[in-house]
Structure 1
Amino acid sequence: MNAHVKPVALVTGASSGMGRDFALRLISEGYTVYGAARRIGRMADIEVQGGLTLALDVTDDRSMVDAVGRIIAEQGRIDVLINNAGYGQYGALEDVPMAEARRQIETNLMGVARLTQLCLPHMRAQASGRIIDISSIGGKIAMPLGSWYHASKFALEGLSDALRNEVRPFGIRVVVIEPGGVESEWSGIASEEARRYSANGAYSGLVNHFERMQRQLRLPHAKVISDLVVKALKARNPRPRYHGGLFAAQILFFVVGYPTASWID
């Protein structure tokens, strides 16, 4: 890539939390950034900082086709895809309607797959690209009330690993980021969903415990994850996975056996 051409990045879920921080950070790093989300009105700060915004719903195929089409029409390339859009559909498996379960999988997994499909031909044509999939420590461990969320993230981990080996010969690198606790809207939405479906039945005790736990957490700023994204983008040969955020290192070390020090440095 010509050193004078700014790399082009698409960041989904950019209207809040980690996605917004990713977009703003990449703008400061010299990228041409497209922040994408359903709530386009909440991305004014990205535009103020010199980024571009577009409406994108990762459960709507036409929305995704149009978004990638616009980027290619305006920039002629796409160098980075950060699949960040997602949420936590909480509630006991017995209580969560299947329609909501399907929506969780569509958002956290199928949307990632489809948007990746749309970007890959352009990355292959330019023989370069970085795809960063935002998973979770919840893609390695599972907690009560989060069955559909964990199912989506476990699946995302496997999808990313398979994809990594498919596209490596084309100069495309796939990285998984596994956040622990991070300041965002995630915990509020997860708590609301758990209470919505399971607060008044057999699983009410679990819901109350989950909410108490969420209220007690003191979560770090999303910068801890943005630092990992930038590290993965700057690395000549990025690692398959990076993790950060509250309890991420401890949980992954004790539960999964990740060699903590070598994955953080």
Structure 2
Amino acid sequence: MSEALVLRHDAGGICTLTLNRPAQRNAINRELFREFRAHIRDIEADGSEIGLIVVTGAGGHFCAGHDLKQAPHADALGWLRQEMLILERLTKLPQPVIAKVRGSCYTGGLEFALSADFIVCDASARFADTHGKWGLVPGWGLSQRLPRRVGQAKALEMMLTCQPYTGEQAAAMGLANYCVADDELDAKVSELAALILGNSRHSNAENKRLVYDTDGMALGAGLNHELMRNAGFDPAMRKKGEPIGNAKKAD
């Protein structure tokens, strides 16, 4: 049997999904996307032991984008919609999602990373939207997610120039949450994961839901939504005022 195109590894409450076409810089073809979709469905169906998702790429790259060598699907628009919706389902998972980026994070790969809640990269990372070089337009959410993350002017700069940006530049513009030295990426993601997992999974999921559900709302509507759609206390709280999990009560 051929090796899986998306590898899954669960440990310590973390599910790591690794895009696994290193010889193609993890370029995304339909077979890889089908495997990724199956993993997302599995997590949705039975993810009670998972507190956090990490999406990364095998080898020295995150993802070079869509594999343009593959012929278009017979129902190109229908398949594109399926791809877009599965990335939206990744975003809507109750678990926080971290994109762990080394090397190329281009175009479709950038859209994958933007579907995560956090982007953590190292100095080798290069981010670019190259749709314009190929006469293409985004279909996996880049025109919506990129401006929300970096602002309209910077998003247009990235989209219209197609130039690459370093990891340091990505962090400076707010595209990446953190950029670290090449040999520190694993440790930084582990550090961030430990901080997240040390808090209530209930709170993490509900805070994430509230932020995304109210995106674009006027302040008054958002405040009302927060109050009326509030999920309340974590039932796992042992007693009022005592922290959850690994969190330590502040002095």
TM-score range, shorter chain: 0.3 to 0.5
TM value normalised by structure 1:
0.31
